[in-house]
Amino acid sequence: MEIGSLVAVVIALVIVLFVIVTLAKAVRIVPQARAGIVERLGRYSRTLNPGLSLLVPYIDRLKPLVDMREQVVSFPPSSVITQDNLVVNIDSVIYFQVTDPKAAMYEIASPITGIEQLTVTTLRNVIGGMDLEQTLTSRESINNALRGVLDEATGKWGIRVNRVELKAIDPPASVQESMEKQMRAEREKRAAILTAEGFKQSQILTAEGEKTSAILRAEGDAQSQILRAEGEAQAIQKVFDAIHAGGADDQVLAYQYLQALPSIANGTANKVWVVPAELSKAMENLGSAFTRNDAPKG
């Protein structure tokens, strides 16, 4: 009786365990941005969307979940020969996204490997029709050509290529050295041009400054002479007014002229004296006056 009870307990435990396992196999939770492929008896049955789903235990089988997010794959450098027979190493990055989980699961065994090989082949075809200079300056067109070919080829795999980027295009070492020398010469040329232009501008500014200074100096001298002449004219006018106001006659004027003669004679540039006729007559009258004063009185 005890053995029978023990067997019943074991059977009950087995049944409970079987039920638990069955329920675990029947219930599946698919996370967000994932997709599940269900096979029934080895054949495709349906695609599970994110959320809770029920399967038929022991009949349905859930394949590994497919990531529906955009993925980034960086491929190792690949050697490509240009049209002018130079070998360049190109690093590429692919941004792709699964759009059809069923096709991505059954149409290709290894999508990453397939994309890599297709990228290398397309790069060789595209770069093979360009020389080195075009390769270095046509990165955008190369990216677009790669994206077009990859997107068309991977469409049947349920994959969409969103973007292709070339991280680096490395020419041979000898070409890099020549390019560096050329860039250095170009920089030195630009520096020499800038220096010459700076010196030219400096000379122009200096000349303009000297011109402006000379003009201002000439204007200042002219203004000074004008003011000096105006001052002398005013002084002469005041003297003339004073003489007329004092009623000076010709003899007084002649006397003043005689007193000014020593000052006039001191000038080194005075070689010829011009004596006005009126002043000469006044000096004669002055001389007659002095003669009359010196004559003995009778």
Contact 251, 285 (CB under 8 A): yes
Nearest partner of 64 among 98, 30, 108, judged by Cα:
30
What pLDDT, in 10s, does the model give residues 184-242? 777 778 888 888 888 888 888 888 888 888 888 888 888 888 887 777 777 666 666 66
Residues 223 and 255 both lie in one domain:
no
E strand intervals along the chain: 27-30, 34-40, 43-48, 51-54, 60-62, 66-67, 71-81, 87-98, 159-170
Q: Rounded to two decimals, what is the model's pTM?
A: 0.55
Q: Is residue 208 a part of any domain in this protein? A: yes
Rounded to whole angstroms, the Cα distance separating 14 from 12 reads 5
Contact 128, 185 (CB under 8 A): no
Residues 44 and 82 both lie in one domain:
no
Q: What pLDDT score does 298 carry?
A: 45
Q: Is residue 240 a part of any domain in this protein? A: yes
Contact 148, 160 (CB under 8 A): no
Residues 56 and 101 both lie in one domain:
no
Residues 262 and 239 both lie in one domain:
no
Q: Is residue 177 a part of any domain in this protein? A: no
CA distances from 205 to 194, 196, 202 (A): 16, 14, 5
Q: How far apart are the first and last CA of the chain?
A: 204
Q: What pLDDT score does 169 carry?
A: 84
Domains held by the chain: number:
4
Residues 145 and 216 both lie in one domain:
no
Backbone angles phi, psi at 84, to 5 degrees: -95, 25
Sign of CA dihedral 220, 222, 225, 231: negative
Residues 81 and 164 both lie in one domain:
yes
Q: Is residue 6 a part of any domain in this protein? A: yes
Rounded to whole angstroms, the Cα distance separating 133 from 172 reads 13
Residues 160 and 98 both lie in one domain:
yes
Nearest partner of 104 among 35, 48, 53, judged by Cα:
35
Boundary-marking domain end, from 124, 146, 171: 171
Q: Is residue 21 a part of any domain in this protein? A: yes
Nearest partner of 80 among 122, 27, 52, 38, judged by Cα:
122
Q: Is residue 210 a part of any domain in this protein? A: yes
Q: What pLDDT score does 208 carry?
A: 84
Residues 241 and 253 both lie in one domain:
no
Q: What pLDDT score does 98 carry?
A: 94
- Residues in the chain predicted with pLDDT less than 50, given as ranges, are 270, 295, 297-298
Rounded to whole angstroms, the Cα distance separating 195 from 189 reads 10
Q: Is residue 61 a part of any domain in this protein? A: yes
Residues 225 and 252 both lie in one domain:
no
Q: What pLDDT score does 153 carry?
A: 87
Contact 82, 88 (CB under 8 A): yes
Residues 209 and 278 both lie in one domain:
no
Boundary-marking domain end, from 171, 192, 212: 171
> Could you tell me the CATH number of the domain that includes residue 155?
3.30.479.30
Q: Is residue 32 a part of any domain in this protein? A: yes
Rounded to whole angstroms, the Cα distance separating 128 from 292 reads 130
Residues 257 and 297 both lie in one domain:
yes
Residue 209 lies in domain:
182-247
Rounded to whole angstroms, the Cα distance separating 117 from 123 reads 10
Boundary-marking domain end, from 171, 195, 227: 171
Q: What pLDDT score does 45 carry?
A: 93
Secondary structure (3-state) at 83: coil
Residues 238 and 255 both lie in one domain:
no
